[in-house]
Structure 1
Amino acid sequence: MRVLVVSAPLSGHVLPLLPLARALAEADHEILIATAADAATAARKQGLPVEDIAPDFDFAAIARGVALRHPWAAANKLFGTINAKLVDAVRDVTETFRPDVVVVEPLAVAGLIAAAGHGVPAVRHETNLLDGAELVQATAGPALRRLAIDRLPDPAAVIQVLPPSVVGPRPGWAMRYEPPAPAPLPSWLTETPALPRILVSRSTVAGSGNGNMMKALVAVAGSIDAEFVLVRPEPGLPPELPDNVRTIGWVSLDAVLPTCTGIVHHGGAGTVQAALAAGVPQLVVPGPGDRRHNAELVAEIGAGISAPLKGPSAEHLQRLITDDELRRVSVRIQDDLAIRPSPKDVAVQVATLAS
């Protein structure tokens, strides 16, 4: 069976698709990932074959001037524009590769359009905390209008990674979260520290972070009895950091989180899911697009705290460390995730669509 996996050209969008892609490849199915830019690089690092569908793709040029405060505006104006630009290339690779099944994330509707045009069953792989069907509806318009297509057919199947305890009941095949890109760690990060360890992570998308989230945290970190680890420190931090603040470049959050008491982050869907899978309470400083929704959802289900955009206070950080209820809820959701079928199990279900 040949499976085409289509992602928007951002690493945070392709990474959640890789566990299923690896499972399909390990089952001797032929896999091709169609994406571009940072996402193409991330997939290649995992040893998976990639078709770069937009060698000159420039996310910043498309995002510049687009207001992203509301998630549906982000889907329509930003990812709608991206898919309208990529739809021809995705149709071309579909024609050349001739897949038996197309797997897409909700913000890669160019893949759904290509699958429908070639009469191939499509699988929508949910990667977001927002409802995937609504994301597709919000995103598809520009590409459909460009091709004079009225509507997209429903996918042959939907994969749901998040349990009802997080997003409520949603139809589809259940699949558990698995780390998208396992990687070794420096030795000091593999050990559980004497003090509570708080991981601090910002967006992988240039220019769309949380302003001065890390700067605000560093300003109060010295008053907190904890170790803070800043992942990819943002520009503008003080040259001298408090003694309990350490920094590191890119690192696998999934690998570090088991040694952590909490995580402070920007509200990206992938980071939220990684923390839930690790059973680690979250302090979310929401950014644009879907990130405010994600922060509010984390707080609503009791797995974390939503902080102001200006950044976390000492009180927020102290609660993240000491609130036993946040940890209890986070561990319960971790258990909910762990009992779901594995990507290998779901790969078997995907294969039935090609028969």
Structure 2
Amino acid sequence: MASVLLCSTPVHAHVTPLLAVTRSLVARGHDVRFLTGARFADAVTAAGAQHLPLPAEADFDDRDLAGRFPGRAGRTGLDAIRYDMLQIFVGPGLAQHRAVLAALADRPADAVLVEPLFLGATALAATPADRRPPLVAIGIFPLGLTSAHTAPFGLGLLPASGPLGVARNRVLQRVVERSLAPAQDAAADLVRVAGEQPLDGFFLGWPAHADAIAQLTVQEFEYPRPDVSTPVHYVGPPAATGTAASGDPGLPAWWSDLDGSRPVVHVTQGTVANDDPGQLLLPTIRALADEDVLVVAATGGRPVEDLGPLPENARAAGYLPYDALLPRTSVYVTNGGYGGVHHALRHGVPIVVAGKTEDKAEVAARVAWSGAGVRLRTNEPRPAQVRRAVRRVLDDTAYAAASARIGERIAAAPGTDGVVDVVEGLLASSAEDRRRRARPVSGPPTGRLVRG
């Protein structure tokens, strides 16, 4: 049995996949502690781990970011990204790192697992390997490792190789690094205050300095990076939980309408970015009101009444059982959550994706790159845009075929059990290295010492 410390920023979309990792570790007999926000204590305990609360200066409620970070108001585009990186992610980094050190001092861990935006891990990654436990980065959103073959993370650009592509990528990388220079400097200062030398490269690329990366996708949904030397293990997404989100998994009264007589188009804005149904839910319902399809909307727990009167061919519920719904679904319309997209891919459902904020632009780009769907390049598409995209996906079977191919790879992948395999492999390798170093050297010397 190994002692494992998991660490996550106190954000629902970051904590949830690590809870799945926690359950797999516990099922394999490992002792798990989970360092994250106070509001997730019950969920961590239910997963079988010990909850360690983040210190107050690193904890916040992601349901009220405006209250904790009033400076976010009114910011858009690159200005909003700069603010979030500096204040929400880099800012708490030193307190995060100190909390990790306190947890390790209280009880040593055999391995530390973190998600990429727990930026206190930059100081741990900068610590020589013989002074820290093995460090594994858990890829809970698209891989962001810097590569000459890909554009910088966040731009949503498709990869480009060859001389012109490499030149484009390098220029864009310099532009992004200059634009985020305050966050880069703050991340370097964090590492220095922790007593280590800052890492080479862009601060968001710190997982390149981890001992391994366990990416929660399959290789067919991620860009090739032949120039990256860090071991990246594509383990596949967590197993489907059976529902669109935590909530009532029961079938709604209208479920019998999904009788196969017309294509089902499922639309959701997830469980976080759903305050305004006018971004995607309502445009999709209105776009398809006159189409021979059945539109099924999930509000992510928001009142269904917020959608107003529904056309004849639309149905809605707060939560829906995905294991039952997606096999009946012909098109999945989404704002680009990594988990939801993988649920659709697991069932071979082609995708129309509209998001372009946070990591959603990168998710949307991979949907397009993989051939599994169409991206709309906006957070708030017009009904006409949605209608054209849905018709395109319904009429061209290549999208469903591409999604099905990825779904087959997901079905064959180990999921979060694969993360446990990575951890156990690292620990076995470390133990063998220690045994090899401890083994006495016998026999005559194999060479001569030449003095100059």
TM-score bracket relative to the smaller structure? 0.7 to 0.9
Following superposition, the deviation at residue 28 of structure 1 comes to 0.8
1:109 counterpart SS class: coil
Following superposition, the deviation at residue 168 of structure 1 comes to 2.7
Q: Which residue of 2 aligns with 1:162?
A: 217
Pick the aligned partner of 2:259 from 193, 201, 205: 193
Contact 2:239 2:416 in 1 (8 A): no
Following superposition, the deviation at residue 123 of structure 1 comes to 0.6
Following superposition, the deviation at residue 15 of structure 1 comes to 2.1
Contact 1:13 1:39 in 2 (8 A): no
Residue 25 of structure 2 aligns with an amino acid whose one-letter code is L
Counterparts of 2:210 and 2:114 in 1: how far apart (Å)? 10
2:77 counterpart SS class: coil
Residue 257 of structure 1 aligns with an amino acid whose one-letter code is L
1:103 counterpart SS class: strand
Q: Which runs of 5+ in 2 are unaligned?
A: 147-151, 154-176, 200-205, 226-230, 432-452
Q: Which residue of 2 aligns with 1:295?
A: 364
- Decide whether aligned partners of structure 1 residues 340 and 207 sit closer, same or farther in structure 2, where only a CA change above 3 A counts: closer
- Decide whether aligned partners of structure 1 residues 303 and 76 sit closer, same or farther in structure 2, where only a CA change above 3 A counts: same
- Decide whether aligned partners of structure 1 residues 146 and 160 sit closer, same or farther in structure 2, where only a CA change above 3 A counts: closer
Matches within 5 A, 1:1-355: 1-36=2-37, 40=41, 42-44=43-45, 46-54=47-55, 57-59=60-62, 60=65, 61-62=68-69, 64-65=72-73, 67=75, 69=77, 73=82, 76-77=85-86, 78-84=88-94, 86-111=96-121, 113-114=123-124, 119-132=132-145, 142-148=186-192, 149-152=196-199, 154-169=209-224, 171-179=231-239, 181-183=241-243, 185-188=249-252, 193-194=259-260, 195-205=262-272, 212-232=279-299, 237-251=306-320, 253=322, 256-307=325-376, 308-311=378-381, 312-354=385-427, 355=431
1:187 counterpart SS class: coil
Which structure is richer in relative contact order (CA contacts within 8 A, separation 6 or more)? 1
Following superposition, the deviation at residue 351 of structure 1 comes to 2.0
Counterparts of 1:121 and 1:348 in 2: how far apart (Å)? 14
Counterparts of 1:84 and 1:253 in 2: how far apart (Å)? 39
- Decide whether aligned partners of structure 1 residues 269 and 190 sit closer, same or farther in structure 2, where only a CA change above 3 A counts: farther
Following superposition, the deviation at residue 116 of structure 1 comes to 6.0
Following superposition, the deviation at residue 281 of structure 1 comes to 0.8
Counterparts of 1:208 and 1:131 in 2: how far apart (Å)? 28
1:179 counterpart SS class: coil
Counterparts of 1:83 and 1:145 in 2: how far apart (Å)? 10
Q: Deviations over 1:170-207 (max 9, x none)?
A: 54223122326445732356995323222212143357
- Decide whether aligned partners of structure 1 residues 100 and 284 sit closer, same or farther in structure 2, where only a CA change above 3 A counts: same
- Decide whether aligned partners of structure 1 residues 182 and 261 sit closer, same or farther in structure 2, where only a CA change above 3 A counts: same
TM-score, normalisation: structure 2? 0.67
TM-score, normalisation: structure 1? 0.84
Instruction: Give the CA RMSD over aligned residues.
Output: 3.4
Counterparts of 2:43 and 2:371 in 1: how far apart (Å)? 32
Counterparts of 2:103 and 2:405 in 1: how far apart (Å)? 42
Residue 309 of structure 1 aligns with an amino acid whose one-letter code is N
Residue 156 of structure 1 aligns with an amino acid whose one-letter code is D
Contact 1:282 1:303 in 2 (8 A): yes
- Decide whether aligned partners of structure 1 residues 348 and 296 sit closer, same or farther in structure 2, where only a CA change above 3 A counts: closer
2:400 counterpart SS class: helix
Counterparts of 2:42 and 2:263 in 1: how far apart (Å)? 34
- Decide whether aligned partners of structure 1 residues 244 and 85 sit closer, same or farther in structure 2, where only a CA change above 3 A counts: farther
Residue 85 of structure 2 aligns with an amino acid whose one-letter code is N
Contact 2:285 2:314 in 1 (8 A): yes
1:327 counterpart SS class: helix
